[in-house]
Structure formats: structure tokens, C-alpha cells
Amino acid sequence: MVRMAEEQVAWTAVKTGEAVVTSDGTNIGKVVEVAALASEDIFHGIVFEHAHSRKHYLAPAADIERITTEAVHLSVTKDQADQYEEFQQLHISRLGLTGVFRWKHFGWKDSNE
């Protein structure tokens, strides 16, 4: 069976559930989400669920060789990818106007990042 070449795509086209494959061909998990600031076109990496531990890890953008319609391909081996730290979701707040109706004041509010 001849397999056609995978089409390379931008990080904005990554879909949940796509395979994450190391440079030595090991499928180490599946995409959970993209770590990025889409409004500023800043790509941090791919958050994936490890196939064995079921925990979430961040593959940093620097370790991503290419993204295709079939998978996210890493530039690191399985052993190197196994050294990633567990991903912790960040909650970001920004200083700005907050409050209800006319009772506005300067304070912390949730960011959409």
C-alpha cells in the first residue's frame, strides 16, 4: 500500500486527537490543545496526553519539527520527550477596569489568554 505524503499545515490547523510522533517514529500521545496566544499569533507548543501515563505534557514549539494533516512531528526522540514536565494550566489576570455597571474601579480581571 502506497501512502501519500502528508500535507504540512500551520499550528492554527492542529486538531484535538491528532497523533504526536517523536523523531524515532514513536506515537507518544494525542493532541489535547494548542498552547498559543492566537490573537497575537504567538505559538508556545502543543499540549498532549501521553499514551501511557494519561497525563498532559507540553511539547514546546522549539521541539516541533513539523505539523501535518495527520500528526504533530517532534524533533526529539521518545526518551527526550519522556523528560517533558507535566503541563499545568495557567490562569492569567490583567490589571484593568472591573466592577458592575457604574461601580467601576481599577483591579484585576480575567484575561482571555
The reported pLDDT for the residue numbered 39 is 77
- Report if residue 1 sits inside a domain: no
- Report if residue 106 sits inside a domain: yes
Cell numbers placing 99? 466592577
Average pLDDT of the segment spanning 29-38: 89
- Report if residue 2 sits inside a domain: no
- Report if residue 52 sits inside a domain: yes
Q: Is 68 exposed, middle or buried (0-12, 13-18, 19+ CB in 10 A)?
A: middle
Cβ pair 93, 83 in contact under 8 A: no
- Report if residue 71 sits inside a domain: yes
* pLDDT tens string 53-78: 989 999 999 999 999 999 999 999 99
The residue range of the domain holding 15 is 11-110
The reported pLDDT for the residue numbered 90 is 59
C-alpha closest to that of 6 among 60, 51, 71, 56: 71
The reported pLDDT for the residue numbered 75 is 98
Q: Rounded to two decimals, what is the model's pTM?
A: 0.74
Average pLDDT of the segment spanning 44-53: 92
